[in-house]
Structure 1
């Protein structure tokens, strides 16, 4: 049975810079596309997400900035009914990087975001999310770096509007998968 037609196919990269350079601006983001179809049925799901970020590196180890995110999913169940889900996030991030050599560095980043979403036209929710993830960076040239992440620890909580229900989600995905990306540091004039 073919469960996944494209699983994190096309582009899933986590552009997250590792090499903090004092008085620079860091630009990175994530882009993902996933498509699943249950063989022999009309059950399918398509997901798209995009999350750009920009930050200021005030010394050789610390970076702080703003991360945005948007995602949408369209699913079709066995009866042919469509379910549409969308979510928007915005909030600050802080990163601590440590160079192991001129080429390699490790870093940890924490994102604290506000989230807002809806499922179809009826269900809306608002809440908060915290995500911590470690990664390894490989310095390239001219402020570019390749970055490799290998999981995260996250918790989110959201209140469903016009309901007494809450959505709570805890995830620990260390070693569950690997993502990679590219980042760019832009130097500022002193």
Structure 2
């Protein structure tokens, strides 16, 4: 039950604009929190916050800046460990209205990453593309649905010569939901 409530809270707090309005400012973001407890007594609590602001310079294109921060605290029978991650970078979005009610958009984010887990520090970058659908409701409110995406990340531990890379393609899975308001 706790997981369902937390998932609904994250979805309700996810704010994303989709219906671009020329010469306006777009503000959106996500807030998330999870709590996971395993049978062996290990408990992990995670919090993330990702705001963004952009300028809608015509009816289709929006460009702006994203910020993301995440912190995690894991408690085991051996002790406690903390980790944190930070990302910042530009985004570009192209929206296509299909009617007065529906719109499709695609967004690309390019983030510089920094993280710390215990005494280990990492740096890197990430590129993410995701498609989404917006449903215009009333008075500038819209519901937004995304269905996965494509991402590439590369990170390196400070002082190490090797880096790790991740490539993810999950179109059709990992659906998310958001609410937006254009002012």
Tell me the TM-score normalised to structure 1 length.
Answer: 0.87
Tell which deviates more after alignment, 100-109 or 153-162: 153-162
Q: Could you tell me how far 1:44 is from its partner in structure 2?
A: 1.8
| C-alpha spacing 1:158/1:130, structure 2 compared with 1 (3 Å) | same
The residue aligned with 1:174 is 171
Unaligned ranges ≥5, structure 1 = none
The residue aligned with 1:58 is 57
Structure 1 or 2: larger helix share? 2
The yes-or-no answer on 1:141 pairing with 2:138 is: yes
* In structure 1, C-alpha distance between the alignment counterparts of 2:78 and 2:170, rounded to whole Å: 32
| C-alpha spacing 1:48/1:26, structure 2 compared with 1 (3 Å) | same
Q: Could you tell me how far 1:131 is from its partner in structure 2?
A: 0.5
Q: Could you tell me how far 1:5 is from its partner in structure 2?
A: 5.7
Q: Could you tell me how far 1:36 is from its partner in structure 2?
A: 1.0
The residue aligned with 1:38 is 38
Count of aligned pairs between the two proteins: 180
The residue aligned with 1:81 is 79
RMSD: 1.8
| SS state at 2:113 partner | strand
The residue aligned with 1:15 is 15
Higher relative contact order (CA 8 A, sep 6+): 1
The residue aligned with 1:25 is 25
Unaligned ranges ≥5, structure 2 = none
* In structure 1, C-alpha distance between the alignment counterparts of 2:175 and 2:8, rounded to whole Å: 15
Tell which deviates more after alignment, 81-90 or 108-117: 81-90
The residue aligned with 1:152 is 149
1:161 to 148, 158, 161: 158
